[in-house]
Amino acid sequence: MQTLADPSGAVLAFDVGGTTIKAEVLGPDLQTWARASVPTPHGPALADGVVDTARALLDGLTSEQRDAVRSVGLALPGIVDTARGVSIFAANLDLRDVALAEPIAARLGLPVRLGHDVACAAAAERHSGAAAGVTDPVVVVIGTGIAAVSYVHGRRVAGVTGQAGELGHVVVRPGGPRCGCGARGCLEAVASASSIARAYRSASGNDVAGAADVVARLGQDAVADAVWAEATTALADGLLIATALLAPGAIVLGGGLAEAGASLVDPVAASMRERATAVTVPPLLTAAHGSRAGVVGAALIASAPSAECDELARHAGVSPPARHTHRDGG
Ligand SMILES: [Zn+2]
Protein backbone atom coordinates (compact mmCIF):
# COMPACT_ATOMS: atom_id res chain seq x y z
CA MET A 1 0.00 0.00 0.00
CA GLN A 2 1.62 3.20 -1.16
CA THR A 3 -0.06 5.42 1.36
CA LEU A 4 0.83 7.44 4.42
CA ALA A 5 -0.51 6.52 7.85
CA ASP A 6 -3.03 9.40 7.75
CA PRO A 7 -5.24 8.81 4.68
CA SER A 8 -6.33 12.45 4.42
CA GLY A 9 -3.21 14.29 5.49
CA ALA A 10 -0.26 15.55 3.46
CA VAL A 11 3.28 16.01 4.78
CA LEU A 12 6.37 18.09 4.23
CA ALA A 13 9.44 15.88 3.83
CA PHE A 14 13.11 16.89 3.85
CA ASP A 15 16.17 14.82 2.98
CA VAL A 16 19.08 16.84 4.35
CA GLY A 17 22.38 16.06 2.65
CA GLY A 18 25.82 17.60 3.10
CA THR A 19 25.39 19.88 0.07
CA THR A 20 21.70 19.83 -0.86
CA ILE A 21 18.33 19.67 0.89
CA LYS A 22 15.73 17.80 -1.15
CA ALA A 23 12.23 18.79 -0.08
CA GLU A 24 8.78 17.68 -1.15
CA VAL A 25 5.17 18.11 -0.18
CA LEU A 26 3.60 14.66 -0.50
CA GLY A 27 -0.07 13.86 -0.59
CA PRO A 28 -1.56 10.83 1.22
CA ASP A 29 -0.79 8.51 -1.71
CA LEU A 30 2.85 9.67 -1.66
CA GLN A 31 2.32 11.67 -4.84
CA THR A 32 4.47 14.80 -5.12
CA TRP A 33 2.50 18.04 -4.80
CA ALA A 34 5.53 20.31 -4.86
CA ARG A 35 9.29 19.94 -4.69
CA ALA A 36 12.40 22.01 -4.13
CA SER A 37 16.13 21.51 -3.96
CA VAL A 38 18.21 24.08 -2.07
CA PRO A 39 21.81 24.33 -0.81
CA THR A 40 22.17 23.05 2.77
CA PRO A 41 23.01 25.76 5.34
CA HIS A 42 25.51 24.30 7.79
CA GLY A 43 25.35 24.56 11.57
CA PRO A 44 22.28 25.81 13.47
CA ALA A 45 21.25 27.88 10.38
CA LEU A 46 19.95 24.58 9.01
CA ALA A 47 16.66 25.24 10.83
CA ASP A 48 16.26 28.57 8.97
CA GLY A 49 16.88 26.84 5.64
CA VAL A 50 14.24 24.22 6.40
CA VAL A 51 11.68 26.81 7.53
CA ASP A 52 12.27 29.07 4.49
CA THR A 53 12.00 26.13 2.10
CA ALA A 54 8.84 24.88 3.82
CA ARG A 55 7.21 28.30 3.56
CA ALA A 56 8.10 28.63 -0.13
CA LEU A 57 6.66 25.18 -0.86
CA LEU A 58 3.47 25.87 1.15
CA ASP A 59 3.00 29.20 -0.69
CA GLY A 60 2.93 27.32 -3.98
CA LEU A 61 0.05 25.04 -2.94
CA THR A 62 -3.70 25.58 -3.29
CA SER A 63 -5.36 26.56 0.00
CA GLU A 64 -7.04 23.15 0.10
CA GLN A 65 -3.68 21.40 -0.23
CA ARG A 66 -2.10 23.72 2.34
CA ASP A 67 -4.79 22.83 4.89
CA ALA A 68 -4.09 19.13 4.35
CA VAL A 69 -0.42 19.43 5.42
CA ARG A 70 -0.29 17.96 8.93
CA SER A 71 3.35 17.34 9.78
CA VAL A 72 7.00 17.58 8.82
CA GLY A 73 9.68 14.88 8.57
CA LEU A 74 13.43 15.42 8.35
CA ALA A 75 15.93 12.74 7.32
CA LEU A 76 19.39 13.63 8.66
CA PRO A 77 22.87 12.11 8.43
CA GLY A 78 25.04 11.32 11.46
CA ILE A 79 23.64 10.53 14.89
CA VAL A 80 20.08 11.64 15.50
CA ASP A 81 18.14 11.60 18.75
CA THR A 82 14.68 11.11 17.33
CA ALA A 83 12.97 11.15 20.73
CA ARG A 84 14.25 14.64 21.59
CA GLY A 85 14.38 15.93 18.01
CA VAL A 86 18.08 16.75 18.25
CA SER A 87 21.00 16.24 15.86
CA ILE A 88 23.61 14.75 18.20
CA PHE A 89 26.41 14.82 15.65
CA ALA A 90 26.71 15.31 11.90
CA ALA A 91 30.25 16.10 10.77
CA ASN A 92 29.34 17.13 7.24
CA LEU A 93 26.60 19.53 8.47
CA ASP A 94 28.64 21.04 11.34
CA LEU A 95 25.96 19.95 13.80
CA ARG A 96 26.65 18.87 17.38
CA ASP A 97 23.81 18.75 19.89
CA VAL A 98 21.55 21.07 17.89
CA ALA A 99 17.82 20.97 18.62
CA LEU A 100 15.95 21.01 15.31
CA ALA A 101 12.44 19.61 15.74
CA GLU A 102 11.27 22.11 18.36
CA PRO A 103 12.42 25.39 16.76
CA ILE A 104 11.17 24.33 13.31
CA ALA A 105 7.83 23.17 14.74
CA ALA A 106 7.39 26.45 16.64
CA ARG A 107 7.90 28.52 13.50
CA LEU A 108 5.82 26.40 11.11
CA GLY A 109 3.05 25.51 13.56
CA LEU A 110 3.34 21.83 12.56
CA PRO A 111 4.76 18.83 14.42
CA VAL A 112 8.28 17.91 13.27
CA ARG A 113 9.90 14.48 13.51
CA LEU A 114 13.49 13.52 12.77
CA GLY A 115 14.92 10.31 11.35
CA HIS A 116 18.26 8.95 10.22
CA ASP A 117 18.78 9.26 6.47
CA VAL A 118 19.94 5.71 5.80
CA ALA A 119 17.23 4.23 8.03
CA CYS A 120 14.66 6.44 6.24
CA ALA A 121 15.86 5.26 2.81
CA ALA A 122 15.57 1.66 3.99
CA ALA A 123 12.11 2.29 5.43
CA ALA A 124 11.00 3.71 2.07
CA GLU A 125 12.26 0.64 0.21
CA ARG A 126 10.51 -1.59 2.71
CA HIS A 127 7.28 0.39 2.59
CA SER A 128 6.85 0.69 -1.15
CA GLY A 129 10.12 -0.15 -2.91
CA ALA A 130 12.33 -3.13 -3.73
CA ALA A 131 12.14 -4.55 -0.20
CA ALA A 132 8.33 -4.44 0.01
CA GLY A 133 7.06 -7.88 0.96
CA VAL A 134 10.59 -9.22 1.55
CA THR A 135 11.07 -10.98 4.89
CA ASP A 136 13.92 -9.40 6.87
CA PRO A 137 15.83 -7.64 4.08
CA VAL A 138 19.19 -5.94 4.36
CA VAL A 139 19.25 -2.54 2.63
CA VAL A 140 22.73 -1.28 1.76
CA VAL A 141 23.15 2.38 0.81
CA ILE A 142 26.29 3.05 -1.21
CA GLY A 143 27.33 6.64 -1.86
CA THR A 144 30.14 8.65 -0.30
CA GLY A 145 30.13 5.95 2.37
CA ILE A 146 28.45 2.59 2.82
CA ALA A 147 25.87 1.81 5.50
CA ALA A 148 23.43 -1.04 5.96
CA VAL A 149 20.05 -1.35 7.62
CA SER A 150 18.93 -4.82 8.60
CA TYR A 151 15.68 -6.24 9.90
CA VAL A 152 15.13 -9.17 12.22
CA HIS A 153 11.60 -10.42 12.89
CA GLY A 154 10.36 -7.40 10.94
CA ARG A 155 12.10 -4.84 13.13
CA ARG A 156 15.07 -2.67 12.26
CA VAL A 157 18.18 -3.67 14.15
CA ALA A 158 19.47 -0.57 15.96
CA GLY A 159 21.80 -2.16 18.50
CA VAL A 160 22.58 -0.79 21.94
CA THR A 161 24.07 2.42 20.55
CA GLY A 162 21.64 2.81 17.67
CA GLN A 163 24.55 2.54 15.27
CA ALA A 164 24.19 -1.05 14.08
CA GLY A 165 24.83 -1.34 10.35
CA GLU A 166 28.30 0.19 9.87
CA LEU A 167 28.99 -2.31 7.10
CA GLY A 168 31.25 0.25 5.41
CA HIS A 169 33.79 -0.18 8.18
CA VAL A 170 34.04 -3.94 8.03
CA VAL A 171 37.60 -4.72 6.89
CA VAL A 172 37.48 -6.74 3.66
CA ARG A 173 41.02 -5.97 2.38
CA PRO A 174 43.49 -6.05 5.30
CA GLY A 175 46.29 -3.56 4.65
CA GLY A 176 44.24 -2.06 1.81
CA PRO A 177 43.40 1.59 1.09
CA ARG A 178 43.13 3.97 4.05
CA CYS A 179 39.54 4.65 5.13
CA GLY A 180 38.14 7.95 6.42
CA CYS A 181 37.80 6.25 9.82
CA GLY A 182 41.57 5.75 10.03
CA ALA A 183 41.64 1.99 9.42
CA ARG A 184 42.87 0.25 6.27
CA GLY A 185 40.88 -1.90 3.88
CA CYS A 186 37.37 -1.06 5.09
CA LEU A 187 34.65 -1.96 2.60
CA GLU A 188 33.90 1.70 1.92
CA ALA A 189 37.58 2.46 1.28
CA VAL A 190 37.33 0.11 -1.73
CA ALA A 191 33.72 0.04 -2.86
CA SER A 192 32.03 3.38 -2.06
CA ALA A 193 31.28 5.66 -5.01
CA SER A 194 33.96 8.11 -3.92
CA SER A 195 36.57 5.36 -3.42
CA ILE A 196 35.88 3.94 -6.88
CA ALA A 197 36.38 7.37 -8.47
CA ARG A 198 39.55 7.91 -6.43
CA ALA A 199 40.98 4.49 -7.34
CA TYR A 200 40.32 5.12 -11.02
CA ARG A 201 41.98 8.56 -10.90
CA SER A 202 45.11 7.24 -9.25
CA ALA A 203 45.40 4.16 -11.49
CA SER A 204 44.67 5.90 -14.82
CA GLY A 205 45.87 9.47 -14.26
CA ASN A 206 42.55 10.58 -15.84
CA ASP A 207 40.17 12.81 -13.94
CA VAL A 208 36.58 11.72 -13.43
CA ALA A 209 33.75 13.53 -11.66
CA GLY A 210 32.52 10.41 -9.90
CA ALA A 211 31.86 6.68 -10.02
CA ALA A 212 29.24 7.14 -12.77
CA ASP A 213 32.07 8.14 -15.13
CA VAL A 214 33.91 4.92 -14.28
CA VAL A 215 30.72 2.93 -14.98
CA ALA A 216 30.37 4.72 -18.35
CA ARG A 217 33.86 3.47 -19.33
CA LEU A 218 33.25 -0.21 -18.53
CA GLY A 219 34.08 -2.50 -21.44
CA GLN A 220 36.15 0.21 -23.18
CA ASP A 221 38.78 1.04 -20.59
CA ALA A 222 40.83 -1.70 -18.93
CA VAL A 223 41.59 0.46 -15.89
CA ALA A 224 37.88 1.13 -15.32
CA ASP A 225 37.17 -2.61 -15.67
CA ALA A 226 39.88 -3.48 -13.12
CA VAL A 227 38.76 -0.86 -10.59
CA TRP A 228 35.15 -1.98 -10.96
CA ALA A 229 36.07 -5.66 -10.56
CA GLU A 230 38.02 -4.86 -7.38
CA ALA A 231 35.08 -2.84 -5.97
CA THR A 232 32.39 -5.37 -6.86
CA THR A 233 34.34 -8.33 -5.43
CA ALA A 234 35.01 -6.36 -2.24
CA LEU A 235 31.30 -5.59 -2.07
CA ALA A 236 30.52 -9.29 -2.56
CA ASP A 237 32.81 -10.11 0.39
CA GLY A 238 31.09 -7.48 2.56
CA LEU A 239 27.61 -8.68 1.60
CA LEU A 240 28.61 -12.30 2.31
CA ILE A 241 29.54 -11.24 5.86
CA ALA A 242 26.10 -9.64 6.26
CA THR A 243 24.53 -12.77 4.77
CA ALA A 244 26.45 -15.06 7.14
CA LEU A 245 25.25 -13.05 10.13
CA LEU A 246 21.66 -12.37 9.13
CA ALA A 247 20.56 -14.71 6.31
CA PRO A 248 18.33 -11.97 4.85
CA GLY A 249 15.37 -12.60 2.54
CA ALA A 250 17.02 -10.26 0.01
CA ILE A 251 19.71 -7.60 -0.15
CA VAL A 252 18.64 -4.27 -1.67
CA LEU A 253 21.38 -2.00 -3.03
CA GLY A 254 20.58 1.72 -2.91
CA GLY A 255 22.34 5.07 -2.92
CA GLY A 256 24.08 6.74 -5.84
CA LEU A 257 26.16 3.71 -6.87
CA ALA A 258 23.02 1.58 -7.32
CA GLU A 259 22.07 3.80 -10.26
CA ALA A 260 24.56 1.60 -12.17
CA GLY A 261 21.78 -1.05 -12.06
CA ALA A 262 22.76 -4.36 -13.68
CA SER A 263 26.38 -3.18 -14.13
CA LEU A 264 26.60 -3.31 -10.34
CA VAL A 265 24.19 -6.06 -9.33
CA ASP A 266 25.27 -8.67 -11.91
CA PRO A 267 29.00 -8.80 -11.07
CA VAL A 268 28.33 -8.53 -7.31
CA ALA A 269 25.81 -11.39 -7.43
CA ALA A 270 28.17 -13.50 -9.57
CA SER A 271 31.07 -12.88 -7.15
CA MET A 272 28.88 -13.73 -4.18
CA ARG A 273 27.88 -17.04 -5.75
CA GLU A 274 31.51 -17.83 -6.66
CA ARG A 275 32.80 -17.06 -3.18
CA ALA A 276 29.94 -18.37 -1.05
CA THR A 277 30.76 -21.61 0.70
CA ALA A 278 28.60 -22.17 3.74
CA VAL A 279 25.84 -19.62 3.09
CA THR A 280 22.96 -19.35 0.64
CA VAL A 281 23.25 -16.21 -1.47
CA PRO A 282 20.00 -14.18 -1.18
CA PRO A 283 18.43 -12.35 -4.13
CA LEU A 284 20.24 -9.09 -4.87
CA LEU A 285 17.91 -6.22 -5.86
CA THR A 286 18.27 -2.56 -6.87
CA ALA A 287 16.47 0.08 -4.79
CA ALA A 288 13.24 1.30 -6.37
CA HIS A 289 12.95 4.81 -4.93
CA GLY A 290 16.39 5.89 -6.15
CA SER A 291 17.42 9.36 -5.06
CA ARG A 292 13.90 9.96 -3.61
CA ALA A 293 14.25 7.25 -0.95
CA GLY A 294 15.28 9.69 1.81
CA VAL A 295 12.37 12.03 1.07
CA VAL A 296 9.84 9.17 0.99
CA GLY A 297 11.26 7.85 4.28
CA ALA A 298 11.02 11.33 5.83
CA ALA A 299 7.37 11.46 4.70
CA LEU A 300 6.76 8.13 6.44
CA ILE A 301 8.17 9.36 9.75
CA ALA A 302 6.23 12.62 9.45
CA SER A 303 3.08 10.60 9.02
CA ALA A 304 3.57 7.92 11.68
CA PRO A 305 4.92 8.71 15.16
CA SER A 306 6.62 5.38 15.77
CA ALA A 307 8.00 4.79 12.29
CA GLU A 308 11.06 2.66 11.92
CA CYS A 309 13.42 5.44 10.88
CA ASP A 310 13.93 6.04 14.58
CA GLU A 311 17.64 6.20 15.11
CA LEU A 312 18.07 6.12 18.85
CA ALA A 313 14.79 4.99 20.31
CA ARG A 314 16.34 4.56 23.71
CA HIS A 315 18.90 7.32 23.49
CA ALA A 316 20.76 7.37 26.78
CA GLY A 317 23.72 9.68 26.67
CA VAL A 318 25.38 8.20 23.59
CA SER A 319 28.38 10.38 22.78
CA PRO A 320 29.58 11.28 19.33
CA PRO A 321 32.41 8.99 18.27
CA ALA A 322 35.85 10.45 18.90
CA ARG A 323 37.16 10.07 15.37
CA HIS A 324 34.38 10.09 12.84
CA THR A 325 30.80 9.53 11.89
CA HIS A 326 29.88 9.29 8.29
CA ARG A 327 27.01 7.04 7.59
CA ASP A 328 26.35 9.33 4.66
CA GLY A 329 25.40 6.58 2.33
CA GLY A 330 23.31 8.72 -0.03
ZN1 LIG B 1 36.51 2.61 7.89
The residue segments making up the domain with residue 203 are 133-287
Are 236 and 161 contained in the same domain? yes
* Residue 308: predicted pLDDT: 56
Ion ligand 1 neighbours (CB, 5 A) are 169, 179, 181, 183, 186
Are 281 and 298 contained in the same domain? no
Torsions phi, psi for 298 (to 5 deg): -65, -35
Does residue 315 surpass a pLDDT of 80? no
Are 162 and 233 contained in the same domain? yes
* Residue 19: predicted pLDDT: 87
Q: pLDDT band at residue 312, thresholds of 50, 70 and 90? A: very low
CATH number at residue 269: 3.30.420.40
> Sign of dihedral through CA atoms 67, 2, 255, 312?
positive
Are 282 and 296 contained in the same domain? no
Beta bridge partners, 37, equal: 22
Q: pLDDT band at residue 290, thresholds of 50, 70 and 90? A: confident
Distance 175 CA to ligand 1 centre (A): 12
Which residue from 86, 144, 93, 153 is spatially nearest to 118, judged by alpha carbons?
A: 144
Domain count, the chain: 2
Residue 60: inside a domain: yes
Are 282 and 137 contained in the same domain? yes
Minimum mean pLDDT among 151-165, 215-229, 282-296, 315-329: which range?
315-329
Residue 45: inside a domain: yes
Distance 136 CA to ligand 1 centre (A): 26
Distance 117 CA to ligand 1 centre (A): 19
Q: What is the mean pLDDT of residues 249-275?
A: 97
Residue 196: inside a domain: yes
CA distances from 28 to 14, 36, 189, 243 (A): 16, 19, 40, 35
Does residue 203 surpass a pLDDT of 70? yes
Are 102 and 168 contained in the same domain? no
Distance 1 CA to ligand 1 centre (A): 37
Are 110 and 226 contained in the same domain? no
Are 155 and 272 contained in the same domain? yes
Residue 179: inside a domain: yes
Are 112 and 138 contained in the same domain? no
Burial class (CB in 10 A: 0-12, 13-18, 19+), 184: middle
What is the reported pTM? 0.86
Residue 311: inside a domain: no
Distance 236 CA to ligand 1 centre (A): 17
Cα separation of 202 and 183, whole Å? 20
Are 207 and 74 contained in the same domain? no
Distance 167 CA to ligand 1 centre (A): 9
